């Protein structure tokens, strides 16, 4: 998603004049001119500084912009994450950064001012924090899994803080095992300048069943995340993806590769068809992060056990749209002690 609605105002054909470039800068207020050819491909950029330097060299206002075009500007692809774009712009003192596709066609523009303004997301985020964490015993005997410290703070706090940086302000924690410890730690969220409410399960209801306890039905799509997932996934971009495709339920998936340690013999009856030496098996795995439209709640019954695969199957059976959101960002499901130790678990 581009973060300037009127970026097309900054486009100018390559046969334009210096005067036209000045008018473009004044009218668009975007502090950059993106010079394009007839195929909408980016030739280069012009800034106020480029124009002033040209005028100092004696170029007239009616002259072609060609001599002042910066022909090798920084550009980025549309899929580059916001934090990487921001780092690139700040490091190189760039105020405006064109977004281009694989054919170098201009499809948007990043603005430093806009990136530095924290986006506000009114959407709800529900985090499943009620599990017993049996595979992490003895660490979870007296501490709920979401409160286990990772690099100095509970893993659940990492999730909330990351979502907060993307503009999410309202969280609901589904709690069950040692719930009082989670509620004592996070309270109403005031310490993090967010709002935190709770869904209290009397018995485990699964990764989707707890959502049936919502007292008020959301009026727009909401995020759901397992409470033991540490990732660099951009929740806001996943929400935008869900909205773009008009989905009822979206599941984040990650490509998982496993190499068979043996050579595989493919047969047909007793005949050998072919050999495959240590093949790599690729499959998409459920990453434990979801976006649900309010309509998805129609498949749930209050206090009935339901996990997320069941919910997705029900939605699909009722004609809803169920899609995947492929992720390439770092992702870790802290499911066992080895994983916990690998990310620098520090007992307190």
- Residues marked as catalytic: 278
The token pair at 281 is 């098996």
Q: Which residues, other chains included, contact 201 with Cβ-Cβ below 8 Å and sequence gap of 6+? A: 130, 174, 175, 176, 209, 210, 213
Do 25 and 35 form a contact (C-beta atoms < 8 A)? no
What whole-number distance in Å separates Cα of residue 72 and Cα of residue 106? 14
First to last CA, the chain: 41
**Distance in angstroms (rounded) separating the CA atoms of residues 122 and 25:** 33
- State the Cα torsion 243-245-246-249 to the nearest 10°: -80
Rounded to whole angstroms, what are the CA distances from 282 to 254, 257, 259, 260, 308?
A: 10, 5, 9, 11, 22
Quickly list DSSP for 217-266. Answer: --SS-EEEEETTEEE---HHHHHHHHHHTT-SEEEEEEEEEEE-SS-EEE
Place of tokens 């770092």: 330
């Amino acid at each position: 998603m581009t973060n300037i609605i009127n970026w097309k105002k900054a486009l100018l054909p390559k046969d334009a004049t210096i005067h036209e470039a000045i008018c473009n800068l004044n009218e668009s207020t975007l502090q950059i001119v993106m010079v394009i050819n007839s195929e909408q491909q980016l030739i280069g950029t012009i800034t106020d500084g480029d124009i002033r330097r040209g005028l100092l060299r004696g170029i007239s206002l009616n002259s072609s912009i060609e001599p002042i075009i910066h022909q090798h500007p920084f550009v980025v692809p549309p899929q580059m994450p916001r934090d990487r774009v921001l780092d690139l712009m700040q490091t190189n003192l760039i105020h405006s950064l064109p977004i281009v596709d694989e054919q170098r066609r201009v499809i948007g523009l990043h603005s430093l001012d806009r990136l530095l303004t924290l986006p506000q997301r009114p959407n709800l985020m529900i985090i499943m924090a009620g599990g017993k964490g049996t595979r992490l015993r003895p660490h979870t005997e007296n501490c709920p899994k979401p409160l286990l410290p990772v690099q100095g703070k509970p893993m659940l706090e990492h999730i909330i803080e990351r979502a907060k940086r993307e503009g999410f302000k309202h969280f609901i924690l589904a709690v069950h095992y040692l719930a009082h410890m989670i509620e004592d730690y996070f309270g109403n969220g005031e310490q993090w300048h967010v709002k935190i409410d709770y869904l209290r399960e009397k018995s485990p209801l699964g990764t989707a069943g707890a959502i049936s306890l919502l007292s008020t039905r959301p009026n727009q799509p909401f995020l759901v995340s397992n409470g033991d997932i540490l990732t660099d996934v951009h929740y806001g971009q996943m929400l935008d993806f869900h909205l773009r495709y008009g989905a009822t339920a979206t599941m984040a998936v990650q490509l998982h590769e496993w190499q068979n340690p043996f050579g595989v013999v493919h047969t047909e009856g007793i005949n050998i068809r072919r050999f495959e030496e240590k093949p790599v098996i690729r499959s998409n795995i459920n990453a434990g992060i979801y976006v649900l439209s309010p309509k998805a709640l129609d498949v749930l019954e209050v206090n009935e056990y339901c996990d997320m695969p069941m919910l997705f199957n029900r939605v699909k059976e009722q004609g809803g749209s169920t899609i995947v959101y492929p992720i390439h960002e770092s992702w870790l499901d802290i499911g066992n002690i080895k994983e916990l130790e690998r990310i620098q678990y520090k007992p307190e």
